[in-house]
Amino acid sequence: MRAPKELGSNGTNLNGTDLNGTDLNGTNLNGTNLNGTNLNGTNLNGVQLNGTNLNGTNLNGVTLRGTLLQGIRDDGRIVSGADFVRSLASPRKGTSRTTY
């Protein structure tokens, strides 16, 4: 499934949504609530995730090449099988610090 480029921009709430295997390449997800979302096997290449809530999100097998993850909220858990090559990540001030 191919998602629209502005799927979750401007604070959209996708809490708990099943996006398993979705092609989100280049989508603007800035400020989106992805808390508890299933992104297993999803293509997030070149996606903008600035200020996005990733707490409890399933990132297993996700491709995040060249993705911007600045100011994200995450629960700091280990992500197995996610590809973060050339991604820029810095969690929000006061939250856990994840290094990719």
pTM: 0.72
Within 13 Å and on the Cβ side, how many CA atoms surround 97?
2
Indicate the burial class of 40 (C-beta count within 10 angstroms; 0-12, 13-18, 19 or more).
middle
Q: CA-to-CA distance for 57 and 75, rounded, in angstroms?
A: 9
The partner residues of 69 in beta bridges, in order of sequence, read 89
Q: Does domain 1-100 have CATH number 2.160.20.80?
A: yes
Q: Which residues of the chain have pLDDT under 70?
A: 1-10, 76-81, 86, 88-100
Q: What digits encode the pLDDT tens for the residues 63-77? A: 888 887 777 777 766
